[in-house]
Structure 1
Amino acid sequence: MRTTNAARLLAAGAALTALALLSACGGGTQHQENEALGSRAPAPVQPPKAKKPQVNVLPGMPPVQDPADLYAADRPGRLSPVVKDFPSRVYVPNTNSDTVDVIDPKTYKIIETVKVGRQPQHVVPSWDLKTLWVNNDLGNSLTPIDPRSGKAGKPVPVHDPYNLYFTPDGKYAVVMASMDRQLVFRDAHTMKTVKAVPVSCYGVNHADFSADGRYFIVSCEFSGELLKVDTAKMKVVGQQRLPTRGAMPQDVKISPDGKLFYIADMVANGVWVLNGDTFAKPTFLDTGKGAHGLYISRDSRVMYISNRGEGTISLFDFTRNRLTGKWRLPGGGSPDMGGVSADGKVLWLSGRYNAEVYAIDTRDGTLLARIKVGKGPHGLAVYPQPGRYSLGHTGIFR
C-alpha cells in the first residue's frame, strides 16, 4: 500500500515537471507578459486639486479671487474691459488752486487743467470704474470727470466731501464728512443720501474694507482715533484712541492676506498695525517723519509709505514682515498721496507743500520726473489701474 502511493506521487511529480518544461519552451512568452502586466505598480492616483478656501463675503460683493492675496486682480496690465480703452492719465487735485491738472504719464506734461469746486481733496474712481469723482470739500460738491474723454460734468451737491469710498457690493458711496463728523452713505450713482451716521471722533478721513467686505476701518485724524464700521448695518461697532499722545492717523490699507490693517500716522511718524477682526490695541512701526500715504506694489509684495515730513518713501516687505529700505527724493519734497502705474513701474505721488508731482521708478527709487502743478496738490489718481472694481480713495482696487 505504501509502495503504490509512493509510486503515484513520483508519477504526479514527473508530470508537473514535464508541464513546467513545456511551458518554458512553448507558451512561456504569454505567461511572462501576463506576469509583467500583473506586477506593474498601479498608476498613481492624482489627488484632487485643493480648493481655495471660500470667503463668506458681504451679499452682493464680487467673490474674493484669492484669499491669500486680496490684490490678485491688480496685476500689471490686467485692466477691466470697462477701462481698457481709457487713455492713461494722472489726475492731480490742487486744493489751493481749485483745479485738477491732467498729466500725460508718457511725456510728464500737463495736457489740461480742469476748473472744479473749492478745495478739491481727492480724485476718486467710482465702484463701476466709469467715473472719476473730484471731492470739492469746501465747495460742498462732487465734480464727475469722464476718464474716456477727460471732460468734467455738472457738479453734484454733496456736503463736506473730504474723501469718498464705495461699499464692496457697489450699492453705496461713503462720504467722509470730516467737519460734519459723519459717515454719509449715499446711492453710489445718484449720490442721494441713504443714511448719515454721526461719529464721536473728529476728522474722519481714510478707510479700507475687510477681506469679506463686512466691516471697514476708518481713521480720525484730529482726535487720533480709529473706528470699526459694520458695512451692512451702517453702524459704528468699535472705537479706540491710538496709544500715542497727539496721534494723527491718515491712510489705511489692508494686508494682501487680509489679516492686518496698516494706518499711517503723520505725527507718530510711522504706521500702526491693527488686527481688524479683534480690533485690539495696535502695534507700531517707525517709518519716517510725516508718514501719510500707503500704496501696494503690483506683485502684492511691497507697500510704499510716503513720509511727507522728510521727503522719503519707506518700503515694507509683506513676505518678510519688515521694512527693507527707504528712498529719498533728491533735493527734498513732500510726498503725499498717489498711486502706482498700471504696469507697476512708476509710483506717482503729489508734493503737497511744493506744488509738484513726483514720478518714481519702483525698481530702485530713482526720481524720473518732478512736475510743477497747481498749489496744494493732494489726492492724485493714476487712471486707469488694474482691478475689477474700486473701493474709492485715490484707487483701492480688488
Structure 2
Amino acid sequence: MIQNRFLTGAALVALLGSLGLAPAQAQTDAPAAAPTPEAASGRVMSAVQTIPGMPPVVDPSNIYSEAAAGKVRADVASDPARIYVPNLRSNDVYVIDPATLKVVDRFPVGKSPQHIVPSWDMRTLWATNNAEGTTQGSLTPIDAHTGKPGAPVPVDDPYNMYFTPDGKSAIVVAEARRRLDFRDPHTMELQGSVDAPKCPGINHAGFSIDGRYAIFTCEFGGMMAKVDTVNRKLLGYLKLSKGGMPQDILTAPNGKTFYVADMHADGVFILDGDTFTETGFIPTGVGTHGLYPSRDAKFMYVANRGSHKVHGPRHSKAGSVSVIEFATNQVVKTWPIPGGGSPDMGNVSADGKKLWLSGRFDDVTYAIDTDTGAMTAIPVGAEPHGLTVWPLPGRYSVGHTGITR
C-alpha cells in the first residue's frame, strides 16, 4: 500500500542526509551523498536542543530556512506539479495543473474531505475525510509521485492531521471528540490519545522550535490548548481576550511566537508560546481564517473569508487577503477578492510566486500572484477546503496543508 513504502540502502542514506541526520554505521556501495545545503555553505548547526530524532534547526531565527524557494528535495522535485483540492460536499479531490490553471484529474475519496496533508516524509498526501456527523471517518492516501489515490484507511473523525517534528507520530485531530490521536505515521495504528475536554472545535496547530510542544486552536471555545508532544500530555488552556473564533495558527520564523487567525475578532492574535500568553493583536479583515509564510519568511499571507458565519455566504464583498510583515507585525498590503469571495485554506508555491487558496463558499480555487495580488479563480467541486500545493520545498512536513521545515 502507498502508506507502507519505505526507503532502503543508498536512498535511505541520501534522504537522511538531506534532513541533516547522519545515520550511525550507515554503509552503502554508492558514492557518498552530496553535502546538505547548510554543510556546503559552511553554516553551523544551531545549538537548539530539539527532541530526539527531529532534524536539527539550521537557523534559529528562521525555522522555515530550509523551506525556501529552490530547496526542493530531489525525490520530491520529480513529483508532478499539482494543486490538490478536497471538496467537502462533493466528496472528491480536484487536481489542478498550476502551469495551465486547468483541472486535469478528479477522484472520489471518503465522506467530507477536509484537508490534503503531506506526510512527514513528504511521500504521501493524505485526504482527511472526517465524515461529519458519522463514525465512518477515513484517510485516503495519495501517492505524491503518481498523483493517484490508494485504499482508504478507517480512522475516527480525522478533521485535520499533523506530524510530530521527529516523524514518530501522526496526530489526527478528532475535532468532534475534542481529542488528539497519536498514530503510527505509516499504518495509522493508534499509539495513544490526549483528551482536551475544554477545547470544543479543536482543529489547527503550530509547533515550537524544538518540537516539544504544540498549540492548538479551539474554534468553538475562543481559546487555545497547549500540548506536550513528547509525553502526550495536555499542558493547559489560554482564553483569548476577545473571546472569538480561532482558526488557523502559524509558528513565527523565530519558532517561539505564534499567530492565531480569529474569524470573529477579524484579525490575528500574537502569542508567546513558551509562557503561553497573549501579547498582541493585528487587525486584518472580516473572517480571518488561514495563515501561510512566504518562501523568504518575511511575510505572512492571511486569508480573510469575508464572513463571521461558519457556512457562507457566497461572493462576500469583504473577502480578501492581507499581507503581514513579520519584522514589524504590520499589514503592508491588502488584496480584495474581485467580485467577492471566500478565501480559506491553501499554501504557497515552491517558488513563492503564487498563493493558492480555496474559495470555500464560491466553489473555486484562487491562484494569487504574490507580487501584485492579481487573482485567477478556477472552478472546482462543492465547498473546497484545505488544499495543498505540490511539490513543496523543505526537509519534512509537520502536516496541515503542507507546513514544511
Query: TM-score normalised by the shorter chain: which range applies?
Result: 0.7 to 0.9
Q: What residue number does 1:388 align with? A: 395
Letter in 2 for 1:63: P
Query: Which whole-Å deviations, capped at 9, do the CAs of 1:66-114 have from their partners, x for residues lacking one?
Result: 1011100111121112311001000000000000000000111111111
Equivalent pairs: percent with the same residue?
Answer: 54
Q: Is the 8 A contact 1:215 1:228 kept in 2?
A: yes
Whole-angstrom CA distance in 1 between matches of 2:210 and 2:331: 27
**Which residue number in structure 1 is paired with residue 356 of structure 2?**
348
1:196 corresponds, among 183, 187, 193, to: 193
CA distance in 1: counterparts of 2:292 and 2:233, whole angstroms = 27
Aligned counterpart for 2:328 among listed residues 314, 320, 328: 320
Amino acid at match of 2:138: S
**Residue deviations 1:180-231, cap 9 Å, x none?**
1101100111101111111121111000100011101100101111011111
Deviation at 1:50, TM superposition (A): 9.7
Question: 1:19 — aligned with what?
Answer: none
- For 1:95 and 1:172, the matched residues in 2 are separated by 26
| Structure 2 residue matching 1:82: 3-state secondary structure | helix
Structure 2: which 5+ residue stretches go unaligned? 1-41, 307-317
Counterparts in 2 of 1:205-220, with a 5 A limit?
A: 205-220=203-218
**Amino acid across the alignment from 2:396:** Y
Q: Which residue is equivalent to 1:306?
A: 303
Matched residue type, 1:295: Y
How do 1:275-286 residues align onto structure 2 when only pairs under 5 Å count?
Answer: 275-286=272-283
Structure 2 length-normalised TM: 0.84
**Is the contact made by 1:229 and 1:237 (CA closer than 8 Å) also made in structure 2?**
yes
Alignment-derived partner of residue 37 in structure 1: none
Give 1:331's match in structure 2, choosing from 326, 331, 339.
Answer: 339
Letter of the 1:244 partner, please give it: K
3-state SS, counterpart of residue 238 of structure 1: strand
Distance 2:174 2:53 in 1: 25
- Counterpart amino acid of residue 176 in structure 1: V
Picking from 212, 227, 230, the partner of 2:228 is 230
Return the match for 1:159 from 137, 156, 161. 156
Gaps of 5+ in 1: 1-48
For the structure 1 residues 50 and 350, does the alpha-carbon distance in structure 2 shift closer, same or farther, using more than 3 Å as the test? Answer: closer
Distance (Å, rounded) in 1 between the aligned partners of 2:277 and 2:327: 23
**Aligned equivalents of 1:300, 1:50: Cα separation in 2:** 18
Aligned residues between the structures: 348
Rg: which structure is higher? 1
The amino acid of 2:229's aligned partner reads T
Looking at structure 1, the residues matched to 257 and 283 of structure 2 have their Cα atoms a distance apart, in angstroms, of 17
Q: 1: CA distance between counterparts of 2:256 and 2:217?
A: 18
Alignment partner, residue 115 of structure 1: 108
Within-5 A mapping of 1:246-285: 247-285=244-282
**Aligned pair 1:244/2:242, yes or no?**
yes
8 Å CA contact 1:178, 1:205 repeated in 2: yes
Offset at residue 282 of structure 1 (A): 3.9
Q: Contact 2:45/2:58 (CA < 8 Å) preserved in 1?
A: no
Residue 51 of structure 1: how far off its partner (Å): 5.5
State the shift of 1:283 in Å.
2.2
Q: Supply the distance in 2 between the matched residues of 1:59 and 1:226 (Cα, whole angstroms).
A: 26
Task: Tell me how far apart the structure 2 counterparts of residues 176 and 51 of structure 1 sit (CA, whole Å).
Answer: 36
User: In the aligned structure 2, how far is the partner of 1:314 from the partner of 1:242?
Assistant: 21
- 8 Å Cα contact 1:82/1:129 also seen in 2: no
Give the RMSD, CA atoms, in angstroms: 1.2
